[in-house]
């Protein structure tokens, strides 16, 4: 997802940043769009339903 | 996980154990393997299989009474002819080329063993000991071997077999020598008395241990026809006595040769669904031809119970045998090794917990119980994906908040939460009827099954305790239940409550209804109906008196798909279960479980709840959100307490069909979407892009939902809704 999003609260464009995710006592990092001011992170559908869903399944199956 | 509990749940499952025929066989021949080889014409390999268990295969083939055939499941279960094991054995003895006895390349052992009696039993023990390289001396008063078989018409053939088996071995035979007393044998480290029927045992027979063939004299063993055993049993005993003797020679005690082998298991049979009886191949001559033997051996069913393995889509998908499931459940609870192959998480959470497998099981195995136990263990250890059950646990919370109880005249209607969620109107009408005819009250609550299925034992127990309190406060009335799953849970966890099935009650009251446009239909019984024939019957009768032509159909206790709340654990499996169930009959279904109705309706299968026919209320197809609100509406109708509106109720939302369907599949009620939009509006949270699209999220605890939309006419038009279970870790 290209960076055309702005944070509604802060009115600033989002920037790419490495973000750490946690699930079932495991963590992993991924580069994501994030508001440089308030830190709100945007998770796009492609990620939630793609890589993240795959990782969730993997961790759940353990 | 407790080993004992797991063993109890696995019960008498005998998957992977020898077949009944092998248990019946005195020699414990692995007949499945033998017959498989014979069916392929692998005569040498088949012969070898006999030889490892039977000292003299030709003798057994000719003289065994064939208890394996009596226990053959082709006969006992299917009612056809048993597999002609003895004829096949004779054929194998005929066609095998490599028949010489086994000689192992192991060093000679110095210990000396005397065998008194060179009949088939004494020889059996002598052969086994000689193969183990003990120094064996066989005595017989006759001038040759054979004992009771010396006068048999086929003795020549037996004599050939004896020679064949002893050929590669070093054994000393002393014939024409009668042993008069055990003192003549003091030079020997051990002695086997196989003196034949009525033979000498120097007073030791009474002290004989039948399992070990040992006696009160630790050096002396007795086996064979001298013990009163028939010939084949005697030969088998004598062959096993060789192991006791070896154990004695090695450890000073025969005890370590003790084995667990219960002949009684010869009457434990697999169900063999779908197999048909057949007749045995008739031999064209005295011995089967090779082709005949192969054909007859191919009749073997290779009996091994696996009846449950085809019980459902789950068992078919994983192909995991029950003993393995038990082991995995046991180990899974012990460690959470990231490379563990024992992991059974997905299967555990994908079971419908319907117990159809138990209906097919000839034993008492409780596979659903194993998965239930596994869920509880995972939850207790906090090693589980909470998102899989979060939706239903929240529904349960909503129901608990909307509890209502009105006392009656010794009985209360217990509609269960899903029926109330489906249609408060329908519940009210049914209640009015019961009130009118029986003076019944009502308890609007859940039985707690969502917490039970989620493996949340404490949560479940709290719910049950609360329900018990309600019941006590109402003067301990009889429950008239509309849902058999409720009934199953209540019967198990609140056994003090007397239960009656609503449908049996309505039938007794002579209630009739209208067909609501269903000219013909099939009744789809819920999985919890398996042991409720009277309820199945009542529903069919109620449908018939409502004018529906009900076709003959029994789904065999299969679950509609909703059971165990497994749909989020394996959405694809859930989809195939529901579509299989929907397709079992072409006619529309009449159901008597609100969950079945939801499940089929969502899958596009035409169906009605029997109570719709009886009350004339069309329950429609409420959305997840409407179901949630219906619970509150029922409470309002019963108690007058108006539900407090949620602030996000005023948020107007429109959505295309495919987004609505996706929300249904993900179990995201519209209320959650509204709440996400409401909170984002309030906090001016979320993200906007140049096209005016808005993206907001809501953290529901175990799941985060995202809503992509555009603002339109004072409301929102949804473009996509999605969710994930991972959480962003707060940095800093
Ligand atoms: S069918 Fe085969 S495996 Fe089954 S009992 Fe008969 S011989 Fe044994
Ligand atoms: S879904 Fe039902 S039939 Fe299948 S394993 Fe679970 S309890 Fe048994
Ligand atoms: S039906 Fe399944 S659980 Fe029951 S004995 Fe057979 S293999 Fe075991
Ligand atoms: Zn911001």
What SS3 string covers B60-90? HHHHCCCHHHHCCHHHHCCCCCCCCHHHHHH
Count of positions (residues) in chain A = 62
The pLDDT confidence band at residue B485, using thresholds 50, 70 and 90, is: very high
What is the predicted pLDDT for the residue at B731? 60
Is residue B645's pLDDT more than 70? yes
Q: ipTM value of the model?
A: 0.97
- Here the tokens at position B357 are 């497998």
| Residue pLDDT, tens place only, B683-697 | 999 999 999 999 999
Atom of ligand 3 nearest to the CA of B309: 2
Write the DSSP assignment of chain A as a string of letters.
--S-EEETTT--B-EEEEEEEEETTEEEEEEEEE-TTT--EE--HHHHHTHHHHHHHHHHH-
Number of H helices, E strands in chain B: 31, 20
State phi, psi for B705 to the nearest 5 degrees.
-105, 150
Nearest Cβ partner of B685 from A8, A45, A56?
Answer: A8
The pLDDT confidence band at residue B339, using thresholds 50, 70 and 90, is: very low
Beta carbons of B726 and A4 less than 8 Å apart:
no
Which one of B14, B18, B273 would you pick to mutate in the ligand 3 pocket, going by the greatest count of ligand atoms within 8 A of its CB?
A: B14
What is the separation, in whole angstroms, between the first and last Cα of chain A? 31
Q: Among residues B440, B393, B446, B456, which one has the least CA distance to residue B418? A: B446
- Angle at CA of residue B347, ends B343 and B348, nearest 5°: 85
What is the predicted pLDDT for the residue at B341? 54
Beta carbons of A48 and B683 less than 8 Å apart:
no
- Angle at CA of residue B146, ends B144 and B152, nearest 5°: 120
Q: Side by side, which strands form the sheet with B135-139?
A: B172-174, B135-139, B112-116, B190-193, B220-222
Taking the C-alpha atoms of residue B171 and residue B43, their distance in angstroms, rounded to an integer, is 28
- Angle at CA of residue B314, ends B311 and B319, nearest 5°: 85
Beta carbons of B731 and A48 less than 8 Å apart:
no
Domain range holding A22?
Answer: 15-60
Instruction: Establish if A24 belongs to a structural domain.
Output: yes
Q: At B215, which helix (H) or strand (E)?
A: none
Nearest Cβ partner of B686 from A8, A49, A60?
Answer: A8
Cβ-Cβ contacts under 8 Å, A13 against chain B: none
B559 in contact with A, Cβ within 8 Å: no
Taking the C-alpha atoms of residue B523 and residue B82, their distance in angstroms, rounded to an integer, is 40
Taking the C-alpha atoms of residue B56 and residue B146, their distance in angstroms, rounded to an integer, is 12
Q: Among residues B172, B170, B179, B184, which one has the least CA distance to residue B145? A: B172
Which one of B20, B361, B370, B557 would you pick to mutate in the ligand 3 pocket, going by the greatest count of ligand atoms within 8 A of its CB?
A: B361
Taking the CB of residue B354, how many other CB atoms lie within 10 A of it?
25
Write the DSSP assignment of B240-258 as a string of letters.
HHHHHHHHHHHHS-SGGG-
Is residue B340's pLDDT more than 70? no
B176 or B331: which leads in pLDDT: B176
* Residue to substitute from B571, B680, B726, interface A, most A β-carbons within 10 A: B726
Average pLDDT over residues B622-648: 93
Is residue B588's pLDDT more than 90? yes
What is the predicted pLDDT for the residue at B338? 44
CA atoms within 13 A on the CB side of B126: 31
Beta carbons of A7 and B687 less than 8 Å apart:
yes
| A4: Cβ contacts below 8 Å, ≥ 6 apart | B689, B690
Cβ-Cβ contacts under 8 Å, B705 against chain A: none
Q: Decide: B360 in ligand 3 pocket, CB within 6 A.
A: yes
Nearest Cβ partner of B726 from A6, A9, A22?
Answer: A22
Nearest Cβ partner of A62 from B338, B388, B694?
Answer: B338
Average pLDDT over residues B444-453: 98
Number of independent structural domains in chain A: 1
Instruction: Establish if A50 belongs to a structural domain.
Output: yes
Q: Decide: B269 in ligand 3 pocket, CB within 6 A.
A: no
What pTM was computed for the model?
0.89
Contact yes or no for B368/B358 (Cβ under 8 A): yes
Instruction: Establish if A3 belongs to a structural domain.
Output: no
The pLDDT confidence band at residue B354, using thresholds 50, 70 and 90, is: very high
Instruction: Establish if A41 belongs to a structural domain.
Output: yes
Instruction: Establish if A42 belongs to a structural domain.
Output: yes
Which one of B360, B368, B580, B581 would you pick to mutate in the ligand 2 pocket, going by the greatest count of ligand atoms within 8 A of its CB?
A: B368
- Angle at CA of residue B441, ends B438 and B446, nearest 5°: 125
Assign residue B264 a region (left: φ > 0; alpha: ψ between -120 and 50; beta: otherwise): alpha
- A16, β-bridge pairs: A33
| Residue pLDDT, tens place only, B529-545 | 989 999 999 999 999 99
What is the predicted pLDDT for the residue at B240? 95
Q: Among residues B75, B1, B73, B63, which one has the least CA distance to residue B26? A: B63
How distant is the Cα of B603 from the closest Cα of chain A, in angstroms? 23
Is residue B337's pLDDT more than 80? no
How distant is the Cα of A41 from the closest Cα of chain B, in angstroms? 8
- Here the tokens at position B425 are 């109107």
DSSP code for B15: T
SS3 label, residue B539:
helix
Atom of ligand 1 nearest to the CA of B85: 7
A10 in contact with B, Cβ within 8 Å: no
B721 in contact with A, Cβ within 8 Å: no
Nearest Cβ partner of B687 from A14, A39, A55?
Answer: A14
Domains annotated for chain B, with CATH where assigned, are 3-11+306-384 (no CATH), 20-99+291-297 (no CATH), 112-257 (3.50.50.60), 401-624 (no CATH), 647-724 (3.30.2310)
Is residue B79's pLDDT more than 50? yes
Beta carbons of B684 and A52 less than 8 Å apart:
no
Strand A5-7 with B687-689, pairing: antiparallel
With tokens 């659903």, the residue in question is B368
- Here the tokens at position B338 are 């990231």
Is residue B287's pLDDT more than 50? yes
What is the predicted pLDDT for the residue at B260? 81
What is the separation, in whole angstroms, between the first and last Cα of chain B? 39
How distant is the Cα of A37 from the closest Cα of chain B, in angstroms? 13
Q: At B551, which helix (H) or strand (E)?
A: strand B549-551
Instruction: Establish if A2 belongs to a structural domain.
Output: no
Nearest CA in chain B to A32: B728
Is residue B331's pLDDT more than 90? no
**Ligand having the closest approach to the CA of B365:** 3
Beta carbons of A41 and B728 less than 8 Å apart:
yes
How distant is the Cα of A32 from the closest Cα of chain B, in angstroms? 11
Beta carbons of A22 and B727 less than 8 Å apart:
yes
Instruction: Establish if A6 belongs to a structural domain.
Output: no
* Beta-carbon contacts below 8 Å between A and B: 81
Cβ-Cβ contacts under 8 Å, B338 against chain A: 62
A9 in contact with B, Cβ within 8 Å: yes
B688 in contact with A, Cβ within 8 Å: yes
How distant is the Cα of A46 from the closest Cα of chain B, in angstroms? 10
Is residue B125's pLDDT more than 80? yes
Is residue B165's pLDDT more than 70? yes
Contact yes or no for B534/B331 (Cβ under 8 A): no
Q: Among residues B483, B470, B477, B544, which one has the least CA distance to residue B510? A: B544
Name the residue at shortest CA distance from atom 5 of ligand 1: B72
Q: Side by side, which strands form the sheet with B549-551?
A: B549-551, B520-524, B589-591, B607-609
Kindly give the parts of chain A with pLDDT less than 50: none
Instruction: Establish if A52 belongs to a structural domain.
Output: yes
B682 in contact with A, Cβ within 8 Å: no
Which one of B365, B366, B367 would you pick to mutate in the ligand 2 pocket, going by the greatest count of ligand atoms within 8 A of its CB?
A: B367
| Residue pLDDT, tens place only, B212-270 | 999 999 999 999 999 999 999 999 999 999 999 999 999 999 999 888 888 889 999 99
The pLDDT confidence band at residue B101, using thresholds 50, 70 and 90, is: confident
Compute the mean pLDDT over every residue in chain B, rounded to the nearest whole number.
95
């Amino acid at each position: 997802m290209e960076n055309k999003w702005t944070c509604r609260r802060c009115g600033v464009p989002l920037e790419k940043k490495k973000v750490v995710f946690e699930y079932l006592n495991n963590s992993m990092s991924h580069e994501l769009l994030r508001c440089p001011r308030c830190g709100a992170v945007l998770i796009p559908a492609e990620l939630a339903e793609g890589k993240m869903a795959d990782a969730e399944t993997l961790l759940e199956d353990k | 996980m407790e080993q004992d509990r797991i063993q109890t749940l696995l019960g008498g499952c005998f998957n992977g154990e020898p077949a009944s025929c092998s248990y019946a066989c005195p020699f414990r021949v692995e007949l499945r393997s033998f017959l498989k080889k014979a069916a392929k014409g692998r005569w040498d390999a088949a012969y070898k299989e006999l030889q490892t268990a039977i000292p003299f295969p030709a003798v057994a083939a000719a003289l065994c009474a064939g208890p394996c055939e009596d226990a053959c499941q082709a006969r006992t279960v299917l009612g056809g002819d048993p597999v002609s094991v003895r004829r096949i054995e004779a054929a194998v003895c005929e066609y095998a080329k490599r028949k010489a006895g086994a000689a192992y390349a192991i060093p000679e052992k110095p210990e000396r063993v005397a065998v008194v009696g060179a009949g088939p039993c004494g020889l059996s023990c002598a052969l086994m000991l000689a193969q183990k390289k003990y120094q064996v001396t066989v005595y017989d008063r006759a001038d040759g071997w054979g004992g009771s078989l010396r006068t048999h018409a086929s003795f020549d053939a037996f004599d050939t077999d004896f020679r064949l088996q002893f050929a590669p071995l070093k054994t000393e035979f002393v014939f024409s020598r009668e042993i008069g007393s055990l003192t003549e044998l003091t030079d020997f480290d051990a002695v086997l008395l196989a003196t034949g029927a009525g033979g000498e045992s120097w007073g030791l027979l009474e002290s004989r241990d039948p399992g070990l063939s040992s006696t009160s004299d630790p050096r002396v063993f007795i086996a064979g026809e001298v013990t009163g055993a028939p010939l084949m049993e005697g030969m088998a005993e004598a062959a096993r006595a060789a192991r006791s003797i070896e154990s004695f020679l090695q450890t000073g005690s025969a005890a370590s040769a003790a084995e667990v082998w219960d002949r009684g298991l010869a009457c434990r049979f697999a169900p063999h669904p779908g197999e048909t009886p057949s007749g045995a191949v008739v031999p064209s001559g005295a011995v089967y031809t090779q082709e005949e033997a192969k054909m007859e051996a191919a009749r073997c069913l290779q009996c091994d119970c696996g009846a449950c393995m085809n019980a459902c889509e789950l068992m078919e998908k994983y192909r995991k045998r029950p003993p393995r499931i038990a082991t995995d459940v046991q180990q899974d609870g012990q460690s959470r090794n990231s490379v563990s192959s024992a992991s059974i998480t997905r299967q555990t959470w994908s079971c419908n917990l319907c117990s159809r497998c138990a209906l097919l099981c000839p034993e008492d195995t409780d596979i659903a119980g194993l998965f239930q136990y596994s869920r509880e263990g995972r939850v207790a250890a906090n090693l589980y994906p909470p998102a899989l059950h979060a939706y239903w646990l929240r529904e349960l919370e909503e129901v608990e908040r909307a509890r209502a109880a009105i006392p009656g005249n010794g009985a209360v209607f217990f509609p269960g939460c899903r029926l109330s969620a489906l249609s408060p109107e329908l519940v009210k009408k049914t209640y009015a009827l019961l009130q009118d005819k029986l003076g019944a009250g009502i308890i609007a609550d859940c039985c707690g099954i969502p917490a039970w299925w989620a493996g949340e034992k404490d949560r479940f127990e709290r719910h049950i305790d609360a329900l018990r309190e309600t019941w006590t406060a109402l003067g301990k009335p009889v429950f008239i239940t509309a849902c058999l799953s409720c009934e199953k849970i209540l019967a198990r966890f609140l056994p003090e409550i007397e239960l009656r099935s609503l449908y049996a009650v309505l039938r007794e009251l002579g209630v009739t209804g209208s067909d609501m446009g269903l000219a013909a239909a099939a009744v789809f019984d819920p999985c919890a109906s398996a042991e409720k024939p009277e309820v199945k019957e009542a529903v069919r009768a109620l449908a018939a008196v409502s004018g529906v032509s009900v076709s003959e159909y029994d789904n065999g206790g299969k679950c509609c798909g909703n059971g165990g709340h497994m749909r989020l654990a394996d959405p694809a499996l859930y989809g195939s279960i529901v579509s299989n169930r929907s397709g079992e009959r072409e006619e529309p279904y009449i159901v008597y479980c609100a969950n079945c109705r939801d499940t089929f309706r969502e899958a596009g299968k035409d169906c009605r709840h029997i109570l719709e026919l009886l009350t004339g209320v069309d329950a429609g197809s409420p959305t997840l959100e409407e179901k949630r609100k219906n619970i509150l509406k029922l409470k309002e109708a019963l108690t007058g307490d108006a539900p407090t509106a949620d602030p996000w109720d005023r948020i107007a939302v429109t959505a295309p069909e495919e987004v609505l369907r996706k929300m249904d599949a993900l179990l995201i009620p519209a209320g959650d979407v509204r709440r996400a939009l409401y909170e984002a509006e309030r906090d001016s949270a979320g993200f906007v892009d140049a096209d005016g699209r808005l993206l907001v999220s809501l953290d529901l605890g175990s799941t985060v939902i995202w809503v992509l939309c555009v603002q339109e006419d004072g409301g929102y038009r949804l473009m996509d809704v999605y969710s994930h279970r991972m959480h962003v870790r707060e940095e800093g």
